[in-house]
Amino acid sequence: MPQDETHVTEVIRRLVLDWCADHNDATERKVDVASGDAAPLFGIERVLDSLALVGLLVAVEQGIDDELGVILTLADEKAASQVKSPFRTIGSLVAYATKRALEESSAHA
């Protein structure tokens, strides 16, 4: 079923922030969630190592499946082909995951 973009964005932002909160409780290299969408995740200014990024993406994918009923892969060819990594900040990840969730939702409506 096609989904409302605002709702999808809210759900995904909450999933990302929940994961960041758990991550920040467990490590010293914390995601600066106070910076909002600009908070760096992965890339030149990265705070997450590759294993942490795996954990974040899997958590967001599973959350999208649980809450929106959409099964998708975030680290796919589309992500790799972006000029700028969609995983560089909280905002870019939320925007990319929202776009992909809406695409998948429409494709299998």
What residues from 53 to 82 belong to the interface with other proteins (CB under 8 A)?
54-55, 58, 61-62, 65-66, 71
Exposed/middle/buried for 39, CB within 10 Å: 0-12, 13-18, 19+? buried
Q: Least distance in Å: CB of 70 to other proteins?
A: 10
Is residue 5 involved in binding other proteins (CB under 8 A)? no
Binding stretches for other proteins (CB under 8 A)? 51, 54-55, 58, 61-62, 65-66, 71
